[in-house]
Chains A and B, each alone.
Chain A
Amino acid sequence: MPAPSFQFEQVDLNAMRGFEGQSFKVQGLRPGIVVIHGPNTVGKSTLALAMELLLWQQLEAPEGTFLGARVRVGGHPQERTRIQDRLVAKVDGQAVAGSAWISPETRERYRLSLTDLLQKSQTNQPFGKHLSKEMSGGVDFPALRREATAAFSRRIGETTVYNQAQKRVDEQAQEQKGQESLESEIRQLEAAVATLDQHQRAEKRLTALDRAMDSLERLLGQDAALAPFAGREPLLLALREHDDTRFQEYREARDAAKDALSLLENRLGQLEDQLKPLDLPSALRADQLQETSKLAADLEQAEQAAAGTGADSAEAEALLADWQRACPWLTGTESLPELTPDVLERARNLARRFEQSQGLLHALTRLADDLGPEEAVAAVPPPAAAGILDQWLDQRRSLEALPRAAEPKPRWGAGAWLLLGAGLLAGLAAVALALRAGAFPVTAAVAAALLGLVLGALGLRPRPVQGADPAGLQRDLETLQTRYTALATPAFAPGAWTPADVANLAGAIRGGLARAEALALRNEDRIRARRRKGEETQRWESLRAEAAQLALQLNLPGETGEAFGGYLELFVTRLQAGQGLRAKVASARSLHEQATHQRDTLRARADGHLHAFNRSPGIDRGVALAALSEQLKTGLELQAERTRAQDGLAKLRQDSRPEPLDTFLAGLDLQEHTFQEAWETRQRWQPQMDGFSGQLKLVETLFTQENHWTPELQALAERHARPLGERRERLALIRAELQTELSRAQETLRLITEQQNSLVLKQKILKDLTRGGTLASLILERDLAAQQLEARRVQELEGRTLGLLIDRLERRGADEDLKPQLKRASELFQRFTHYRYELRFINDTFMAKEGNRTLDLAQLSEATRLQLLMAVRLAYVEYQEGPEGIQLPLFLDEVLANCDDHRAVAIIETIKVMAATGRQIFYFTAQPDEVEKWRTLGGADIQIIDLAEVRQMGLQQRIPLPGRDWTRPPVPDPADASLLEYARTLGAHSPALWIPLGQQHAWLAFAEGEQRTLHEALQGGLATLGQMRGYLEAQRDPSAESLVATIAILEEAQAQLQAARPRPLTAADLAQAEIKGFGDKTSLLECFSRCGGDPRRLLAAPIADVGPKKVGYLKDWLQAGGYLQDQETPAEEILAGLKGRYSSRLGLTAPGWLAVERFVLAAGQQEPSFA
């Protein structure tokens, strides 16, 4: 019974790198041996890899891998899909567990490649070790042992690390132990430093004393300025502020008097110098200046007046001349009769009336024209007719209201109740009698009559309507009708005397009357207008006559007609203007003459005045007078100042008396310069003396505090004004003592400061030692090193334990594990070599035993080595799977290539035996001779697949367009067939949107009736549009331009359609795309398959484990790739656009547009169909 196995039945290579867009299927795979052959690059290796990818979960797949397979596992069908790294296995649509994991080494055992195996068998020892590892369960025991013991060597380093860490701890601890006295040292130092403040204060005082003494010395040094007065110190001391002030005052007064005298003398000289060039009399008077100024002002005024009147006179003359030039026709008007105001008023009045009459006449003429001629008034009934009709209507209403008003309305009297009661009783009695007699109507009539009689007798009769006698009313109506007929014309007679007709007729009569009245009024207006116009015409004529008479009277020239009024007005106005201008000229001349005379008089006076001061009148007397006036003014001022200066000088000279300064100096018995020098010296000396005194006071204070205030110093203080030498000597002594004491203090302070620094340093050391954590860190490092070392010890123990375990296993495995595999390998090896060799495994080395000699691999031929290797591999595979395990497919790659027929037969036979157990074994080769070996030696059970043929079939199925046929068949004749029928005969397809236009059939460029041309083109080998376009463009035949244009438009049409239509989406597109969020596309592709490849359905359908966010990513990808179109442009719109764009190239009546239209309307199909 065959063992359960894993068998491929079909492999779908949908997408894989290197085979993009060339998917193919290998179907009908059978159990047993399958030989797959084909030339290089046909895809054998790819197919083998695809099958391995469908077999092993962990195998890493190339980018964009999308595979499918139908397999049988243990006889049960299973669907397998692999998309990239995700392998999904399904049984009856339900996912089942795939292979959990598998190492690459194990997978390789199922793939036996000639080149690979031979490469690995180059050297015996590594090869043996490799196989030894395989034989021991794939575990490299030696490697594991090496790994486990690798850590042993590192322990030395870690021990060193630990020892060094411990050493550092010890060193640091020793160092700290050596500083255990640190705290007591610090306490001692703190006590010493506690006196620091006290010493610092003493040092400060000494330093201050030193500085004070220094200052004193410096001040004494500055007394050198007093050296010239060394013998006259009393004088200096005697000089006081008061003396100094008086000296200064006296000296300043003397200097001021001298300065004033000099100043006045200088000024007098200057004044004389200024007066002399003025050339004026020696004694000037103020009235001379006034007279000059007045004369200058009067002359200037007279000059201006003369100039002004001259200008006025000239202007008047010019105006008169202008008037005369403007009114030449008034020349001589001086002879006309005088135009009195009355005449002028009369003329103006006449003109105004003339104008009014003229305007009125024009208005009346327009009114008469507007009113037109009189109109005839149509006949209307007299107004009384309407009144008659109204009366008739009133009567008629009264008549209609009569029955309601006739109802009895009893009037109750005082005793009528008794009578009524009697009447009622009598009536009731009568009714009762009538009822009993059975003659009710009669009795009732009788009763009513009786009741009426009673009531009538009592005066309770029904109250009649006033004037509402129907008969009378009827008669009145008829009377009114008669009256109306007599009045009204027949045209206004009513057809029937109904109230409506009568009311309408009354309305019509009133309307007619109103219109007739209005027309009559208009006719009266017309008559009045014409009459008024006649009257006004007469008046206008009389005015015209009056004007003519006046003009004649005045002897006026010009028009006296309708414009007479304006003419007369103008004449009068101009004439008055001329008269005025003449008067103005006369007046201006007179004024000018007066002004000229006055000016000339003043000029003469000015000339005389100027001569009196020896001045020439010059060109402009005004300027000369003004200059004289200025000179007089200056001269007067200088003359006055000279007088004042002379008075002041006289007074200064008069006030001179003996100098107070001389008196002052004489009292001191000093010369002025001596006093000045002494005083200035004292000024310089005083601050020094003051500073000395102050400094001395400070020293006194300090020395008192320090008990150093000696009598000598006291004397110095009291006699600080004594000779300088004494003071210096004493100060030097004191200074020396002070320096000694200061040095001692500073030394003490320095020592304490050093202790303080030491204290700070030790405190810092203590702080660092206490808080630094140095030793703690070193201890931690030591601890970690110890832990590491301990971990290393444990690791070593684990390694040694592992080593012990491996030893035990190896000892046991040598007996239990390796034997069966070696035995089986040897058995296979014997079969492969026709029992010439046996297999031996000695010291990790495989040997071949032939008879009594043992050969290592290097001594074997290449083919024998290959047989040995295959034997070991196959034995391992069988051992690995075990008797109960599922047999997995083997993939052999040209392992027979180096075998002669003899060996090939042995291998093939052995493999056939293995295949007979149910294992599927694939053999890939590109060598036809190997295929032939399998075909001849393998027998009928071996399945042989030509992969090239399989792929060609796949291509043919996918692309229905016929390829280029080098043995071109005859082209059918179109005969009488239509274009569509001929295309069908040709086997051509309909327009296809996604097939490149150049690859589509040539018939698409032709229209009905062009079958013969198409036939010729096909006979010429132009089967596709691309061929045809290339040929025609090369020929440049003008007669073919329309065909070229048609193809170009078809190309544009296809491009626009592609842009306007969604691209067809394939599973390969999805599988190879990088879509965000879709690392695993298994569920996506399954859903895509369920949706029939429709992207919209795909987006709407639920996809397992895919949320809205991922669907959004998918939609984005579809839209970006053009697989989704939100709005598709209608074909008609595209067609219209093409016609608009290409009509200049291809006339709209050209047959080519039929081809374009057919293409645009039919090319929306995803796949081409046959026409």
Chain B
Amino acid sequence: MKILCAADIHLGRQPSMQGFPGRTLTFHSAWDFVVDSAIREQADLLVLAGDLVERDNRYFEAWGPLKAGVTRLLQAGLTVAAIAGNHDSEILPRLHADLVREMPAEAGRFLLMGRQDGKLGHWTQAVVTCGAESLRLVGWSFPAHHHSANPLDGFPALPGDLPTLGLLHGDLDIPRSSYAPFTSGALRATGIDRWVLGHIHAPSARDAAPFYCGSPIPLRASETGAHGCFALTLANRAWSGPVLVPAGIRIETLEVPLTPADTGEADVQAAILQGMRAAIRVCQEGNPGLEGVLFRVRLTGESAIPAPRTTDEYALALDGVHAAIHGEVENFTRPPSSLEAWLADKGARGLLARLIQDLDQGLVPQEAWSDLLGEIARLETESRSAGAFAPLDSRWKDETIAPPDWSRTLLRRACVRLFNAMIRGEATHASA
């Protein structure tokens, strides 16, 4: 039995990054990819671990493609099992009702897990048989947009010894989350063979462990790395997988280290393009069907050359893979050889040089600066509740901000910026 797993499709949400060269992303691209993959891979069962649709857009734009896609899957002979994520608690029951009314013959193969007596928020089971293989499904659905209790608290005892696949949507090991928090230990305690999880957009597939499917395609520029669906295989009651069925597009962070030898804009351009090509090669190794890559480029190392202002000329095609730069090129370089030259200086430049070196080497800064890190962390916490930023919920939080490391990152940026300003404003008489 071949099982394709997907989650966090967020049908109805338009990906927030610019389109890939030659490829337009729409609010239903992710769902189209899941449906096409399930049919193409000749899966027997498609399990959807929640957040099929974007809650804010659950009326028509998500509803139409969702219903059409499920209809197509059922007509193709697949069994579809879904649980409602925090975005789906309204739309999935409606979909089930429509299917029962409009195509009663096939509707029996659409399994809405986690609904009992017409209400969500329960654990339900179903047995799916395909040839000689039988599989027990057990799943829980969000009853509402938020659910602060641990869903595993009411996990039922499972009869028999069939291979079992659990479906759950929520935050793993985040105790105070309002999105169905649960723990790894509780998952293990259920004794279920495989858990397919939803809610986290970054895939975390690991063999034999509970895994988040992640979004089938990146929905935001911060969702880097490979995305797609995951295939599980059950043969003779033995599991194999999950195996990634990769999407044709992905976003990569590309760090381009520059050296003092890079003295011209052409050098920087060449370094970026070289990095892009190398990254494409790497990405292609795990995904021959790769179509496009968007790069978030960050210049590092030492260089006196400013970052390219425009990135239009960096669009390229390599072995059928289109690539481009997303957003602006971030410049984290510092003037060549300046840091070491000023380490012994007893003035402000020396202070900054030594501080940057400590931060780069992961050392604990001197006492004089350590309280500064704490102050920065406090600032970050306060800013979340500041009036201007209060409307932002955790969805919009910059995922690169991860205290306490982030306060070090922030301090380093400020140090480099100030140090560069000082160095560029002065003559290096030694080189005159």
Contacts and interface: CB of A to CB of B under 8 A. Distances in A.
Interface of A: 6, 55-56, 97-103, 105-107, 136-139, 144, 155-156, 158-159, 162-163, 166, 169, 173, 176-177, 179-180, 766, 769-777, 779-780, 783-784, 786-787, 789-794, 796-798, 800-802, 804-806, 808-809, 812-813, 816-817, 880-881, 885-886, 888
Interface in B370-424: 372, 375-376, 379-380, 383-384, 386-389, 391-392, 395-398, 401, 410-411, 413-415, 417-418, 421-422, 424
Contacts of A796: 383
B414 A156 contact: no
Contacts of B396: 783, 786-787, 789-790
B431 A173 contact: no
B10 to A, nearest CB: 10
Given A169-B56, A786-B395, A806-B418, 20 more contacts: A56-B432, A99-B428, A102-B426, A137-B348, A155-B389, A159-B387, A162-B392, A769-B59, A769-B60, A776-B13, A776-B54, A783-B13, A783-B220, A789-B396, A790-B398, A793-B392, A798-B414, A802-B417, A808-B369, A816-B347
Q: Which 8 A-B pairs have the closest CB atoms?
A: A138-B425, A770-B64, A776-B27, A769-B60, A106-B427, A176-B59, A780-B14, A786-B396
A762 to B, nearest CB: 12
Contact of B57 (A138, A779, A791, A816): A779
B329 to A, nearest CB: 16
B428 A137 contact: no
Interface in B291-346: 304, 336, 346
Given A776-B57, A798-B410, A6 B432 contact: yes
Contacts of A105: 425
Contacts of B424: 101, 103
Interface residues of B, number: 62
Nearest to B222: A787
Report which residue of A179, A770, A796 has the largest number of chain B beta carbons within 10 angstroms of its beta carbon. A770
B388 A789 contact: yes
A83 to B, nearest CB: 18
Report which residue of B26, B415, B428 has the largest number of chain A beta carbons within 10 angstroms of its beta carbon. B428
Nearest to A157: B388
B61 A775 contact: yes
Contact of A794 (B59, B63, B401): B401
Nearest to B15: A780
Contacts of B63: 770
Contacts of A177: 59
B391 A162 contact: yes
Nearest to B355: A805
Nearest to B400: A794
Contact of B410 (A138, A159, A790, A801): A801
Given A136-B348, A138-B426, A786-B395, A99 B16 contact: no
Nearest to B421: A139
A139 B432 contact: no
B232 interface: no
Nearest to A89: B432
B389 A808 contact: no
B430 interface: yes
Contacts of B397: 790
B429 A802 contact: no
Contacts of B304: 100-101
A144 B421 contact: yes
B254 interface: no
A797 B422 contact: no
A103 B426 contact: yes
B12 interface: yes
A790 B396 CA distance: 7
Report which residue of B27, B220, B426 has the largest number of chain A beta carbons within 10 angstroms of its beta carbon. B426
Given A103-B424, A780-B16, A786 B392 contact: yes
A773 B414 contact: no
B59 to A, nearest CB: 4
Interface of B: 12-14, 16, 26-27, 54, 56-57, 59-61, 63-65, 220, 304, 336, 346-349, 351-352, 368-369, 372, 375-376, 379-380, 383-384, 386-389, 391-392, 395-398, 401, 410-411, 413-415, 417-418, 421-422, 424-432
A797 B376 contact: yes
B391 A801 contact: no
B13 to A, nearest CB: 6
Nearest to B424: A103
A772 B397 CA distance: 29
A772 B61 contact: yes
Contact of A775 (B57, B346, B388, B410): B57
B428 A800 contact: no
Given A156-B388, A794-B398, A885-B429, A773 B375 contact: no
8 contacts: A144-B421, A179-B59, A776-B14, A779-B56, A800-B376, A801-B410, A809-B348, A813-B347
Nearest to A103: B425
B348 A812 contact: yes
B316 to A, nearest CB: 26
A881 B427 CA distance: 9
B376 A99 contact: no
Contacts of B414: 798, 801-802, 804-805
A786 B13 CA distance: 14
Contact of A103 (B26, B401, B427): B427
B60 A808 contact: no
A879 to B, nearest CB: 9
Nearest to A177: B59
A97 B386 CA distance: 52
Contacts of B431: 97-100
B61 A776 contact: yes
Contact of B372 (A139, A780, A805, A817): A805
A791 B372 contact: no
Contacts of B413: 798, 801
Contacts of A780: 13-14, 16
B348 A779 contact: no
Contacts of B27: 773, 776
A329 to B, nearest CB: 125
Contact of B351 (A136, A159, A812): A812
A787 B14 CA distance: 14
A656 B302 CA distance: 141
Contacts of A885: 429-430
B12 A107 contact: no
Contacts of A159: 387-389, 391
A809 B351 CA distance: 8
Contacts of B426: 102-103, 106, 137-138, 880
Nearest to B63: A770
Contacts of B422: 137-139
Nearest to B401: A794
Contact of B64 (A101, A102, A771, A789): A771
Contacts of A769: 59-61
B12 A775 contact: yes
A886 B425 CA distance: 18
B12 A779 contact: yes
B389 A789 contact: yes
Contacts of A773: 14, 26-27, 61
A178 to B, nearest CB: 9
A440 B368 CA distance: 152
Given A786-B396, A805-B411, A813 B427 contact: no
Contacts of B428: 99-102
B290 to A, nearest CB: 25
Contacts of B425: 103, 105-106, 137-139
Nearest to A887: B429
A881 B432 CA distance: 11
A100 B430 CA distance: 10
Contacts of A176: 59-60
Contacts of A158: 388
Contacts of B411: 801, 805
Contact of B427 (A792, A794, A880): A880
Contacts of A99: 427-428, 431-432
